[in-house]
Amino acid sequence: MLLLLPLLTSLGFWQLSRYQEKLDLEAQLAARQQSVLHSPGTLRTLDDPRFYRLQAEGRYLDDQTFLLDNRIHQGRSGYHVITPFMTHGGQLMLVIRGWLAGSPDKTQIPMIPPIQGNNVLDGLAWQPAGKAFLLGEDHWSDSWPKVIQALDIQRMGEALEAVPEVWFMVLDEQQPGSLTRDFHPINMQPGKHLGYAIQWFLMALVMLGIGGYYLKTAGRTHDKGH
């Protein structure tokens, strides 16, 4: 009890802190949806570029697409399609176009719908919360499209032999080049963290009750012994 009770309690308070963080993120997301930035370069001046709405005009680099592997949509495995986009102002953005189904045995690369010419895109600026945990090394092929296991902007820039913006543009629905919408800016909703916190606190309470019962029982046994 002495070992587990502090652990369970600390886990509960940690989930409460995560709950508050997600509430703050939701508020930030809502506040930054109020206006649209027409110059993506503006985000370079901000400490936190996430969740700002963007509009950009330019062209896709359609022959240099990344496929983020192991993305599940409605029980089916597939890829998130990320294609670089060069704006007329010279900014290179990595655009998350949406989800695309893969072959059941993953022996074939899916056909990526081509998108050419000049386009105007609307979307959301986004950054991953941190580096993804991988069980093994992420090997990339020399050819395009490249199947990748994690988003790594620096490495993706090296593959493109260019320097992209340090954030991704998540494409809105019904945009040029958009695919199945399967993206959540906040990976876990605040309510789930609150639920986990309650579970940890309930487990701590049960542990406290069990420990108190055994202490009380041990005390009675000791008294009878005398």
- As a whole number of angstroms, the distance between CA 9 and CA 199 comes to 10
Query: Tokens at residue 17, please?
Result: 């802190």
The number of distinct structural domains making up the chain is 2
- Based on the domain organization, do 140 and 201 belong to the same domain? no
Residue 125, domain extent: 52-171
- Based on the domain organization, do 153 and 122 belong to the same domain? yes
200 within some domain: yes
Amino acid 83: pLDDT: 97
CB 52 within 8 A of CB 124: yes
Of 31-35, 66-70, 107-111, 172-176, least confident by mean pLDDT is: 31-35
39 within some domain: no
Amino acid 187: pLDDT: 62
41 within some domain: no
CA angle 200, 187, 176 (to 5 degrees): 170
- pLDDT (mean) for 16-21: 76
Taking only the tens place, the pLDDT of each residue in 182-225 is 877 666 566 676 777 788 778 888 878 777 777 777 666 555 55
69 within some domain: yes
84 within some domain: yes
- pLDDT (mean) for 80-109: 91
- Based on the domain organization, do 60 and 166 belong to the same domain? yes
- Based on the domain organization, do 137 and 200 belong to the same domain? no
- Based on the domain organization, do 167 and 224 belong to the same domain? no
- Based on the domain organization, do 63 and 22 belong to the same domain? no
120 within some domain: yes
- Based on the domain organization, do 100 and 209 belong to the same domain? no
46 within some domain: no
- Based on the domain organization, do 27 and 72 belong to the same domain? no
- Based on the domain organization, do 29 and 57 belong to the same domain? no
Which carries the bigger pLDDT value, residue 173 or residue 2? 173
184 within some domain: no
- As a whole number of angstroms, the distance between CA 72 and CA 62 comes to 24
CB 135 within 8 A of CB 57: no
- Based on the domain organization, do 66 and 157 belong to the same domain? yes
pLDDT band at 59 (very low <50, low <70, confident <90, very high): very high
Amino acid 65: pLDDT: 96
